[in-house]
Amino acid sequence: MNTRRKLILFRVLTVLLVGFISLTILISFFPNSIIDTTFSEEVQEHQHPILDSIMKGISFFGYVPAALSMVVGMAVCFYLFKLKREAAFILLTLSSAVVSSILKIAIARPRPTEDLVRIVEKAGNQSFPSGHMLFYVVFFGFMVLLMNHLKFLSFWIRWTIANFSLMIIFAIPFSRIYLGAHWFTDVLGGFLVGLICLAIISYAYLNKPSS
């Protein structure tokens, strides 16, 4: 069974990696493609100050102070409840920031500009892949896995955390595009790399013997 799982993981990672490489090649030849501009126009079509605030709130958890505090805080909670292995793997999700930084520097795609999209919240550094998307998939995706795996926890705790995590994973791409911080291909790239990181971390967690 372990060999079968490894084979499945290898195939999944291969598909995701090929997809990410193909996407990287695409944006290198078409940095401002019709796909990106059209998608941004559609997402930004309806604008309102309240919607601006909601989208900023969705992105809030992905900025360094909030993300670091959230991950460390969650790890501490698990540690205090004697779930030391889970706490360690939660901290491991921070590795997504390192992966994001390396890829951003290597690919060096500029952010969307004001002549092409509405910039609600100005962002620094490079654009591809979306660090928010990558982090949300890894951290919140791993929280979904934990809530499904730790059956001894209260049903309502597991239900609340899992559903909030899924909701924010699906909301973040729209938030980043609405705010003018990313193109559609940026969040798609972050999603693909996030799945790669999540698959590796999840496989390591599920196949590591409990202490």
Per-residue pLDDT tens for 116-162? Answer: 899 998 887 899 999 999 999 999 999 999 999 999 989 999 999 99
Q: Which tokens go with 16?
A: 């995701």
**Predicted TM-score (pTM) of this structure:** 0.93
pLDDT, tens digit, for every residue of 161-190? 999 999 999 999 999 999 999 999 999 999
* Distances, alpha carbon 32 to alpha carbons 28, 117, 120, 153, 211, in Å: 9, 11, 19, 47, 50
DSSP 181: S
Give the ranges where 93-130 is alpha helix by DSSP (H).
95-107
For 188, what's the count of Cα atoms within 13 Å in the CB-facing half-sphere? 14
pLDDT, tens digit, for every residue of 76-101? 999 999 999 999 999 999 999 999 99
pLDDT at 210 over 60: no
For 187, what's the count of Cα atoms within 13 Å in the CB-facing half-sphere? 25
